[in-house]
Amino acid sequence: MSQSVALTTQKREPLSSLWLYRLFKWSTIMPLYWTYFRGRRHGLDRVPMQGRLLVVCNHASDLDPFIVGSCVGRPVAFMAKQELFDVPGLSQFISMYGAYPVNRGAGDRAAMKAAIKAVESGWATGLFIDGTRTPDGRIHDPKLGAAWIAAHTQATILPVCLWGSHGIWPPNGSKLPRSTPLTFRVGTPIPPPASTKRAALEAVTQECADVINGLHELGR
């Protein structure tokens, strides 16, 4: 079987997770996105709906995983800190929603192994390429992890950008998010690196960062 055929026949997320994703998306996330955040979406026709997929994004708010995961149109698994999986009820919910546990004290390699497991389980898997939130939503210091995971799993990389989420939380520490406009854009899918050599990983990582920053510059 050719690689292209193999990647399009990978199993998808569990049916129970798909129903939960749709329920939470259409009952909560997207109504807030369209109304409270006056959201817009562009380029959804570029999202591969089958096969192994890494959704690589910028990061400026704690709400980004929920918004990005709902905007893509296909369930996206994001990593979550291990402590959340120790909470009864919450653990089952976020597991069904695709979250996978990462012990932040265990180092980056443990996080990447968890992401690989999510990809191989059939989930589209989300990664923030800077590895942390940035104050303006732009990519400043892209990490090689996404490219490394893509090379190991031969997953297609989908660069996406969420513009405006850096303005969700007021600087005064208020727990009420601001009604700031948000725009979600999808870039052209990028093939996985041909090897795990550093030069190949750096080239794909820089391409992802350039695409995401280019989408960010389009603004509202």
pLDDT score recorded for residue 199: 97
Quote the mean pLDDT of the chain: 88
Closest CA to 131 of 121, 117, 122, 141: 141
Neighbours of 96 (CB within 10 A): 18
DSSP string, 173-186: --SSPP----EEEE
Q: pLDDT grade, residue 28 (50/70/90)?
A: very high
- Judged against a pLDDT cut of 70, whether residue 154 lies above it is answered with yes
Task: Report how far residue 82's alpha carbon sits from residue 71's, in angstroms, rounded to the nearest whole number.
Answer: 25
Q: What is the pLDDT of residues 163-207, one digit of tens each?
A: 999 999 988 777 889 999 999 999 999 999 999 999 999 999 999
- Is the pTM higher than 0.75? The answer reads yes
Sequence-distant (6+) residues with CB within 8 A of 147 are 157, 192, 193, 200, 201, 202, 204, 205, 208
Task: Report how far residue 166's alpha carbon sits from residue 59's, in angstroms, rounded to the nearest whole number.
Answer: 8
Neighbours of 193 (CB within 10 A): 23
Domains defined along the chain, listed by start:
11-217 (3.40.1130.10)
Q: What is the pLDDT of residues 42-90, one digit of tens each?
A: 999 999 999 999 999 999 998 998 899 999 989 999 887 778 788 887 7
Q: Which two tokens stand for residue 159?
A: 């660069």
**Phi–psi pair at 118, nearest 5 degrees:** -65, -45
Q: What is the pLDDT of residues 98-120, one digit of tens each?
A: 777 777 655 567 778 889 999 99
